[in-house]
Amino acid sequence: MDLFEYQGKQYFARYDIPVSPGGPADTVDEAVAAADAAGYPVVVKAQVQVGGRGKAGGIKLADNEAEVREHAGNILGMDIKGHVVRRVWVEAASDIDEEYYVSFTLDRSAKQHLMMLSAEGGVEIETVAEENPDAIVRLHIDPLDGLTDDVARRACIDAERPERAIDGATDILVKLYRCYDEGDCDLAEINPLILKPTGEVHALDAKVTLDGSAEFRHPEWEEFKGLTEMDEREQMAAEKDLQYIGLDGSVGIIANGAGLAMSTLDVVNQVGGAASNFLDIGGGADADVMAGALEVINFDETVKSIFINIFGGITRGEEVANGIVEALSRVDLRAPIVIRLDGTNAEEGRRILADAGIPESQLRSEPTMLDAARTAVSLAN
């Protein structure tokens, strides 16, 4: 679950990480009330889950009520990279001496947490990684050891924080690690972390992704729900209990097993196409699951062809075939299906499909994964 900036800051505050006082607002009047409460000057910040809001005009300083009205009026309803702003966050403006970057994520290949620090804050870390990779300090943290004060201090010094920022930055690093670890985040990022002229160090932005698998032990996450921006397709899939991730290509993918689903994305890529999603219908998927999967894929208007890749183990070919026949009677599929059906009862499945009298324009069967990928990609193009 991705949080909005202001929710991320609320989460940070639970772990005692300093943030500016402020309030969320859905209307211009609410923005004025939030500004009055925070104290002028204020910053009016668009709440959308996409970076580079500043450059897009979604972050404005306001010295008085008239300016808050003007900026909140402009920002509410603004489209930032395809995200419409429904809410702003109004906080007390900060004076900035320096901007830094800090984050914690999981490095799966190293099986450790990864801490990243950079003296170049305020710019996207991907840009720094490209243009000035030496400016990034990376440090793995063993989950059993955690992050000690000494290690955090050393990292701040290595990242060339000035002397007067070291204590404050160290303190925030240790707290941010606690937030990330105990708070079950997949990502906790502050960009920029700022040094104020007064010497205080402070989180000016917040990017937090919560680990959905840990939801059972965080009743306090309830308040973040409903407001988060979920991909509509993912929401529909979640309601059907399907393992679905939306992507931006044009070939819809249905496979059984996460490994096969990922290989399917790779093969589609390899033959020059791009997948519109990842969808694993799991082992032993029956007709109903298949029909539900096709409904989710069909909901996505960017899908131009559907590649069903089944290697039956527990999943049985005739169930898959029945699901497709059932789905075709339930939904009016916009895109043609290409199926590669192999494994348990594949022949029976293929016979069911052949006997169903589905026109070739709607369903084609291919003998191998590669053939099927080629056909699906050519149909999508």
Reported as type and span, the H/E element at residue 159 is none
Best CA proximity match to 234, nearest among 242, 226, 222:
242
- Which CB sits closer to ligand GDP, 9 or 153? 9
Residue type, 109: S
Reported as type and span, the H/E element at residue 294 is helix 287-299
Residues 134-193 that bind Mn ion (CB under 5 A): 191
- Which CB sits closer to Mn ion, 191 or 322? 191
Cα–Cα distance, 214 to 107 (Å, whole number)? 18
Residue 205 lies near Mn ion (rule: CB under 5 A): yes
Residue 118 lies near Mn ion (rule: CB under 5 A): no
Nearest distance in Å: CB 99, Mn ion: 9
Site mask for ligand GDP (CB under 6 A), range 270-289, x = bound = --------------------
Q: Which of 1, 96, 287, 331 binds ligand GDP (CB under 6 A)?
A: 96
Q: Which of 14, 26, 29, 52 binds ligand GDP (CB under 6 A)?
A: 52
Instruction: Please tell me the count of residues contacting Mn ion according to CB under 5 A.
Output: 2
Please give the angle made by the CA atoms of 184, 114 and 206, to the nearest 5 degrees: 55
Residue 243 lies near ligand GDP (rule: CB under 6 A): no
The item of Mn ion, ligand GDP, none sharing an interface with residue 282, based on CB under 5 to 8 Å by kind, is: none
Task: Single out the segment in contact with ligand GDP by CB under 6 A; choices: 47-55, 66-74, 127-135, 149-157.
Answer: 47-55
Residue 203 lies near ligand GDP (rule: CB under 6 A): no
Task: Single out the segment in contact with ligand GDP by CB under 6 A; choices: 51-59, 71-79, 220-228, 305-313.
Answer: 51-59
CB 97 within 8 A of CB 195: yes
Cα–Cα distance, 178 to 12 (Å, whole number)? 10
Active site residue 326: no
Residue 51 lies near ligand GDP (rule: CB under 6 A): yes
The item of ligand GDP, Mn ion, none sharing an interface with residue 93, based on CB under 5 to 8 Å by kind, is: ligand GDP
Q: Which of 120, 205, 318, 366 binds ligand GDP (CB under 6 A)?
A: 205
CB 251 within 8 A of CB 273: yes
Task: Single out the segment in contact with Mn ion by CB under 5 A; choices: 158-166, 205-213, 235-243, 256-264.
Answer: 205-213
Residue 94 lies near ligand GDP (rule: CB under 6 A): yes
Q: The sheet that has 337-343: what strands, in order across it?
A: 243-246, 277-280, 251-255, 305-312, 337-343, 363-365
Between strands 337-343 and 363-365, the pairing is parallel
Structure tokens, 111: 């099986």
Active site residue 101: yes
Instruction: Please tell me the count of residues contacting ligand GDP according to CB under 6 A.
Output: 15
Residue 54 lies near ligand GDP (rule: CB under 6 A): yes
Residues 106-135 that bind ligand GDP (CB under 6 A): 122
**Is the C-alpha dihedral spanning 152, 154, 155, 157 positive or negative?**
positive
Phi, psi of 217 (to 5 degrees): -105, 15
- Which CB sits closer to Mn ion, 206 or 376? 206
Cα–Cα distance, 88 to 78 (Å, whole number)? 11
Structure tokens, 377: 């990609």
Residue 20 lies near Mn ion (rule: CB under 5 A): no
Task: Give SS3 for 158.
Answer: helix
Per residue, what are the HEC states of 70-95? HHHHHHCCCEECCEECCCEEEEECCC
Q: Is the peptide bond before 41 cis (omega within 30 degrees of 0)?
A: yes
Query: Which residue among the candidates 5, 120, 189, 319 is catalytic per the annotation?
Result: 189
Task: Give SS3 for 275.
Answer: strand
Residue 78 lies near ligand GDP (rule: CB under 6 A): no
134: left (phi over 0), alpha (psi -120 to 50) or beta: alpha
Nearest distance in Å: CB 99, ligand GDP: 5
Query: Which residue among the candidates 6, 100, 101, 177 is catalytic per the annotation?
Result: 101
Give residues in contact with ligand GDP (CB under 6 A): 43, 51-54, 59, 93-94, 96, 99, 122, 191-192, 204-205
Give residues in contact with Mn ion (CB under 5 A): 191, 205
The residues carrying an active-site annotation are: 101, 189
